[in-house]
């Protein structure tokens, strides 16, 4: 069983991601913005972080940079994003994300991609 931190300000996205991943035996922790993710990760660990890009308080790009440079450069962080414009992929990857999953979440694709990033 892997521990996954899901960071998203949308309750429906959190619910769906939690539901899908718990069905596959993963332990899920949640944060509603990037600041909560940074605070969580200062005291806890996870095997993977699924990070929404656009959130209030602190966005996912900023949170990813802080986690990767100040806390744990080896943690896999995968962006959850509806952003699909030219240049968005480069911005996400240059921030330190190891990849990204497009929203809205398509259940089978989502689970398969998460499992791939956990390996």
**Alpha helical stretches, state H, 1-87:** 11-23, 34-43, 60-66
Instruction: Tell me the HSE value of 33 on the side-chain side, using a 13 A CA sphere.
Output: 6
Percent residues over pLDDT 90 in the chain: 78
Compare 26 and 83 and report the one with higher pLDDT: 26
Residue 78, domain CATH: 3.40.50.2300
Domain residues for the domain of 88 are: 3-118
Number of domains forming the structure of the chain: 1
pTM exceeding 0.85: yes
Q: Quick check: 50 pLDDT over 80?
A: yes
């Amino acid at each position: 069983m892997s521990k996954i931190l899901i960071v998203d300000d949308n309750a429906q996205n959190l619910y769906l991601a939690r539901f899908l991943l718990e069905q596959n035996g993963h332990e899920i922790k949640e944060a509603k913005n990037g600041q909560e993710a940074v605070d969580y990760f200062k005291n806890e660990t996870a095997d993977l972080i699924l990070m929404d890009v656009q959130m209030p308080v602190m966005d996912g790009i900023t949170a990813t940079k802080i986690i990767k440079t100040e806390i744990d450069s080896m943690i896999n962080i995968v962006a959850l994003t509806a952003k699909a414009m030219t240049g968005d992929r480069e911005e996400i990857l240059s921030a330190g994300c190891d990849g990204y999953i497009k929203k809205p979440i398509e259940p089978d694709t989502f689970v398969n991609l998460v499992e791939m990033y956990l390996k």
